[in-house]
A and B are shown apart, each in its own frame.
Chain A
Amino acid sequence: MYRYILRRLIYVIPMLLGISSLSFFIMQMAPGDALTTMALSPDVTDEIMEAMRARFWLDQPPYKQFFRWVTQMFKGDMGHSFLWHAPVTWVIKQRVFNTLLLTVVSLIVAWALAIPIGIHSAVNQYSWSDKLLTFFAFIGVSIPNWFLGLLLLYLNLTRGWGLPIGGMTSIDFAEFTFWEKVVDLARHMVLPVIVLSTGTLASLMRYMRSNLLDVLRQDYVTTARAKGLAERVVIYKHAVRNAINPLITIFGFQLGGILGGASLTEIVMNWPGIGSLMLNAVQGQDYYLVMGNLVIGAIMLILGNLTADVLLAASDPRIRYE
């Protein structure tokens, strides 16, 4: 097992090389270079531009730029953000926590609700509550999350829910006591978390429902019932445990998308995360920041998939990796 993990981790290195060359190649195709927007400013003279170009190696041929960028990256330096006038790693670090906070809380909410709802739906198959939940699940899966965000913002503003809109904290956040800070943050998180967890919740509960229905048809469930176990024991001790197993793969996918998946929600709900950072970077032609985001997002995705494989092997003794 450890050898397998180690091999997969070593394998990440050539992948990263490929990903960074693709990112670099895309950015090379873009019109202008990282300093084009800066050159438009009347304060910046030609001499300054020349000096800047030389400083950031932009006067060098592309392959040299690429080589420099990659070697620097393996040392932990992803270049300079011209929009923020700060190192890319610093800018991303500022935002990563916010995105993680939002996505992790949404994941917890979605899983905590989806499993019991899925069990309820499966156990009471074709009851009115199952039909109603199925109906909501279809809506939840099909509604684009940014559109759900707009709808919630509209309802919040017109129906007087009084929830704060946009941002993560109130203006006077710094003066709050600890508990006031927690409450303030929580209130800001309500809408984004609803938006982000709806789709996950809907699809998860459908998976849980159909998995459990499959398991309930198995012979060993009939056996358990036949030997006189209470229905509660049959369902929770025998069936549910086996039905949850396949969901671990999905959990891995979600871990992979933990940074990139929230982008549109962040943009609509004005959440200062890494997705809105990426949009700003693209719009402001902040090339190193865009490339840095691509690489960080990819690392998360690869690690997420690895975690999924490991979790799956750990939970299911039938799966073995050499």
Chain B
Amino acid sequence: MEKNNRSNHQVDFQGNGGALRSPWKMAWRKLRRHRLALMGMWVLILLHVFAIFADFFAPYSELTSDRRRTYHPPTKIHIFHEGKLVRPFVYEYKRVDTLRNIYEEDTSTMYPIRFFVRGDKYSFLGFETDIRLFGVDAPGKIYLFGADRYGRDIFSRLAYGGRRSLFIGIIGLVISLSIGLIYGGVSGYFGGWVDNLMMRIAEIIISIPSFYLLLALSAVLPTNIPPDQRFMLIVAILGFIGWAGLARVIRGMVLSIAKSEFVAGAEAIGASQPRIIIRHILPNTMSYVIVNATLSIPGFILSESGLSFIGVGIQHPVASWGNMLSEALNLSSLTRYPWLLVPGFFIFITVLSYSFFGDGVRDALDPRSRTV
């Protein structure tokens, strides 16, 4: 009977032209109107897809190096041959000056760009395959953004490095969010000396300049561990540093929510304390948390790239957008091989997109601007 009633309601309201919408749908409608936010969202989706399917998009594997092509400049793509339009092709580059790594195009052979070619092997969902989006026949090489000191393709390493540089933001966020939410929730709900003690501990972490703390903690990491483990440890450190500020805000919100009637109601019907905190109180902080989350992901990305850039984060030979830039710290490399700077633009675009997107999300979730 009751079920029937409910479905009747829904039919009624839908007949009304969708007058009753869930808050999430309303937020989504608002977000869709925010052009910059949508643009940011699409750029972010593209970048993440690029990183997830790095094996497919990158013409070479992450560690493929070529000693004969150190600091190879970005390959020019030609579409005209003897005045006629032809399918895009590249020339092989010959190194004419080994000392300063100066290259010239060798126009004797054309290497047309082919799609869905066989390249370095990789495994995808358990399958061994070697299909890559594009490439050129050997011995030609295509370096869209040039090559680094070991002749590794910067474009390919951007894709693989994105796996770490982009996802470190999301994983770090999940870690610091879960600690921050539970810590702040418990502290605010119990109050009294528990609250006092917990907040003092959080304040200690807030009081140390985060970059110093990051540096000190990265010194703790053992140097001879595999790159994957090091990556996880760096993420853990970033998450560990980020939670305290969030916990303090959540605690403040919980403090006021805990006084409300529905919490008293839940207590009266005998709900357990963890249940009250997790099911009744924390969901009310959601819109703040979501806004805070989208706006704080860039912070994690910047911290990781900064640490890797100065050589204490993710370390060679594994790529991250930060450590790819560390070669540019050498001023003579920087002036001679400016394409080393490309990863920096990727970081910049990622952060920019997140701030556009985060702005849109904030406007969409802000109840004060509910005009839709």
Name A residues whose Cβ lies closer than 8 Å to a Cβ of B: 14-15, 18-19, 22-23, 26-27, 29-31, 138-139, 141-144, 146-147, 150-151, 153-154, 157-158, 165, 257, 259-261, 263-264, 267-268, 275, 278-279, 282-283, 285, 290, 293-294, 297-298, 300-302
Contact = CB atoms under 8 A, between A and B. Distances in A.
A165 B335 CA distance: 13
B355 A260 contact: no
B331 A157 contact: yes
Contacts of B203: 15
Contacts of A18: 200-201, 204
B130 to A, nearest CB: 35
Contacts of B220: 26-27, 29-31
A294 B306 contact: no
B352 interface: yes
A298 B209 contact: yes
Contacts of B306: 144, 146, 264
B371 interface: no
A260 B351 contact: no
A82 B341 CA distance: 36
Interface residues of B, number: 43
Given A26-B220, A143-B348, A150 B208 contact: no
B312 A19 contact: no
A294 B352 contact: no
Contacts of B212: 260, 263, 278, 293-294, 297
Interface of B: 200-201, 203-205, 207-213, 215-220, 222-223, 298, 302, 305-306, 309-312, 325, 328-329, 331, 334-335, 338, 341, 344, 347-348, 351-352, 355-356
Contacts of A139: 348, 352
Given A144-B348, A257-B209, 19 more contacts: A15-B204, A18-B200, A23-B216, A139-B352, A141-B355, A142-B351, A142-B352, A143-B351, A147-B344, A154-B328, A260-B212, A261-B211, A263-B209, A264-B306, A264-B310, A279-B310, A298-B207, A298-B209, A300-B209
Contacts of B302: 144
B213 A294 contact: yes
A294 B205 CA distance: 11
Given A27-B216, A278-B212, A154 B355 contact: no
A92 to B, nearest CB: 12
A223 B329 CA distance: 57
11 contacts: A26-B216, A30-B219, A142-B355, A144-B347, A147-B325, A147-B348, A154-B334, A157-B331, A260-B211, A298-B208, A300-B209
B348 A297 contact: no
Task: Pick the 8 closest A-B CB pairs, nearest first.
Answer: A260-B209, A147-B344, A142-B352, A18-B204, A297-B209, A142-B351, A282-B219, A30-B220
A158 B344 contact: no
A22 B204 contact: yes
A158 to B, nearest CB: 6
Nearest to B351: A142
B45 to A, nearest CB: 18
Main secondary structure of the interface of A (DSSP, over half): helix
Contacts of A138: 352, 355-356
Contacts of A150: 325, 328-329, 334, 341, 344
A216 to B, nearest CB: 18
A108 to B, nearest CB: 21
Contacts of A27: 216, 220
B204 A275 contact: no
Given A153-B334, A278-B212, A301 B207 contact: yes
Contacts of B347: 144, 147
Contacts of A31: 220, 222-223
A228 to B, nearest CB: 33
A157 B334 contact: yes
A103 to B, nearest CB: 12
Given A26-B217, A138-B352, A267 B335 contact: no
Nearest to A12: B207
B219 to A, nearest CB: 4
A261 B209 contact: yes
Q: Counting chain B CB atoms within 10 Å of each CB, which of A26, A141, A144, A293 scores highest?
A: A144
B18 to A, nearest CB: 32
A150 B355 CA distance: 22
Contacts of B201: 18
A144 B351 contact: yes
A109 B351 CA distance: 25
B314 to A, nearest CB: 16
Contact of A144 (B222, B305, B328, B334): B305
A275 B216 CA distance: 12
B219 A263 contact: no
Contacts of B217: 26
Contacts of A257: 209
Contact of B207 (A30, A147, A302): A302
Given A144-B351, A282-B216, A294-B216, A157 B209 contact: no
Contact of B218 (A14, A144, A151, A282): A282
A133 to B, nearest CB: 16
A7 to B, nearest CB: 15
Given A18-B201, A30-B220, A165 B331 contact: yes
Nearest to A21: B204
Nearest to B223: A31
B219 A290 contact: yes
Nearest to A275: B211
A91 B136 CA distance: 56
